[in-house]
Amino acid sequence: MTAARTMKSLPALLLTALLVAVIAPQAAAQGSDPLAQVAWKHGPTTGTMGDKAEIKVPYGYVFTDSTGTRQVMEAFQNPISGTEVGFLGPESLDWFFVFEFDDVGYVKDDEKDELDADAIFDSIVKGTEAANKEREKRGWAPIEVYAWHTKPHYDAANHNLEWGIRAESEGQRIVNYNTRILGREGVMRVTLVCDPQQVEATLPVSKKLLADFSYAQGHRYEEWRKGDRLAKYGLTALVAGGAAAVAAKTGLLKHLWKLIVAGVVAIGALLKKIFGRKD
């Protein structure tokens, strides 16, 4: 499999935020091969994410570390957050995961039985409306968040928080699916990137892969000890993104530009704008 072929098969690249952007692989249209320099590890192997975590990479899948993940991001003209730690997907790259670690401290899960999906959804809608004002200034199409794909739910046994959002832009519908894996020192943000029409078929496979993710010894959620740093927010804010006040207090405000300048854009509409395609 060549990197050029990989790029052509890539459906979209999503930025991790409340909603994420689909970026067209312009380099593919130019015939370049920016992924050739990525140090891919082919399964079966173990993908390590610094000293924080690891994941089993089965046969037929590829993994790259933080450096490689940033190279992939740059290849598709995505800004680097500095939190990237890993990238995993099938060799075809028909879909993949982007892993980012937020060193925010230990997030208490005492809200696990109090997740108000309706209130969280309202917060996300309001945040998207604010983002649309900035998108309008840039001449970009607005985004409408219209329903949950999967309501937020917390797996207390594995300390995983999952949710999915349905959105629409320029008549095209999109699904954004997120997983947050709690650790002793922070949160692993996992974004599933795939063609919206393939989400239902991809989710069972992707969840099976994530079951083989584990934090390294000393970094696991259950290894928290009194005196460890605590995060200034809980599970609700992990989904809703947190209010600007929370973001400012925790130092996350610098990352909010992703929500403001990025959004979900249907791949068909984006390709039509960039390449002049009709479908």
Q: Kindly report each contact of residues 77-84 with a partner whose C-beta sits within 8 Å and lies 24 or more positions away, as own/partner.
A: 77/23, 77/26, 78/13, 78/15, 78/21, 78/23, 79/15, 79/258, 81/16, 81/255, 81/258, 83/189
Which CA distances in Å does 270 have to 117, 134, 190, 276?
A: 31, 18, 24, 9
Q: What is the pLDDT of residues 220-233, one digit of tens each?
A: 999 999 999 999 88
Q: How are beta strands 172-182 and 187-194 bridged, if at all?
A: antiparallel
Domain region containing 176: 1-279
Number of domains in the chain: 1
What pLDDT does 192 receive? 87
pLDDT level of residue 256 (50, 70, 90 thresholds): very low
What pLDDT does 135 receive? 73
Strand (E) or helix (H) holding 215 = strand 213-215
Question: CA 226, 161, 48 angle in degrees (round to 5)?
Answer: 75
User: Do 181 and 220 contact (CB within 8 A), yes or no?
Assistant: no
The model carries a pTM of 0.75
Bridge partner list, 164: 150, 177
Taking alpha carbons only, the member of 169, 128, 130 closest to residue 273 is 169
Q: What is the pLDDT of residues 158-192, one digit of tens each?
A: 999 999 888 888 888 778 789 999 999 999 999 88
Which CA distances in Å does 17 have to 229, 241, 262, 264?
A: 24, 8, 8, 10
Give the CATH number of the domain where residue 85 resides.
3.40.1000.10
User: Do 221 and 230 contact (CB within 8 A), yes or no?
Assistant: no
Which has more confidence, 275 or 196? 196
User: Do 238 and 180 contact (CB within 8 A), yes or no?
Assistant: yes
3-state DSSP assignment of residue 85: strand
